[in-house]
Amino acid sequence: MRMLLRNRLGFTAVVMLLLASPDTAYAAAPTPVYAPSYSIADPGVYRENGDFYLYSTGSGARVSRGREAVGPWTNEGAALDLDARPAWMASGDVWAPDIWRTSAGFVMYFSAPAKDFGGQRCIGVAVATSNDPAGDFLPTGQPLVCPGGRQGGEDRVPGRPIADAGVIDPSPFVDGDGKRFLLYKTQQTPSTLRMVRLTDNGLHWFGNDSAELLRRDGIIENPVMVQRGNQFVLLASRYGYDNCSYATVWLRSTDRWHFGGATEHTLLTTAGTGICGPGGGDVTPSLDGGWRIFLHGWVCGSGVKACTPAQIDNGADRRRALYAAVLNWGADNATPVVGAFL
């Protein structure tokens, strides 16, 4: 899941991705750990009682369960109860869902098209009706984040670069003192990553509207933050999600609210991994006390072979699959380093 509390990582950094040419050299792609017939996009992973719960973009927020990171994974259906869809949602299509546990129980954040907003999205919140991370989750009556306070949104997204753009990619984060926050991205370009402080139960904004963490002329999205001592590491996805140039980057700062002057580092690219468009990443602790990073990438046809840039350019049938790898923290305990793929 995109939440953290030191069990979640975020990605963001300038990725100098090499556009494919016939003589471009790529690493051999690992095999996905989960590649059903539908896409596993924007994975949010949460671990509870030894099981991994995987939430992904789709109608009603798809959820799958796996005993280990490598699987086997089982489709549990839609986590969000669409029969209880609130009036602000224009449809049941949900992007980038993610959950955590608070005093209110299991709480989910998701983005969905808002009514009277030109197809743009707002971020909603939902609470599980039982002690089961797979749901059902009942959405609250109003969005948590909606630009300009549309549909009663609590966080109004002040200072956004495009007034009529929506918000997507919610990602919960808990700091070392137990304070709760939510990161997200503003749609369209320039792209911005933002964060808002939440109440202890994670259901409402607390104190002030959100603030901008980082802005890019191009695309930056899928923020995830983790605290490592007095350092805050922000991971994110860069470039267009619909091709092999999509990549994962990271930045680091001693101030959780300011990453504008931080150096952007590459973490995952197609050239380095063989995965077509390695992005949408999320991080969680593993059973062995280490860390795992989960991400999506494009596979073509009905199998599990990573797409080539030429296949993408030629419109090949494709879907996104789930990959997993060991995540290490470097000698300084604050530099994300991807180890072996599972």
Nearest to 203 by CA among 308, 119, 296, 99: 99
Give the Cα-Cα-Cα angle 39, 305, 301 (nearest 5 degrees). Answer: 60
Contact yes or no for 137/79 (Cβ under 8 A): yes
What value, to the nearest 5°, has the Cα angle with vertex 128 and ends 33 and 95?
50
Measure the CA–CA gap between 248 and 272, rounded to whole angstroms. 11
The residues assigned a catalytic role are 42, 221
Residue in 276, 325, 280, 268 with CA at minimum distance from that of residue 298: 276
CA 31 to chain centre: 21
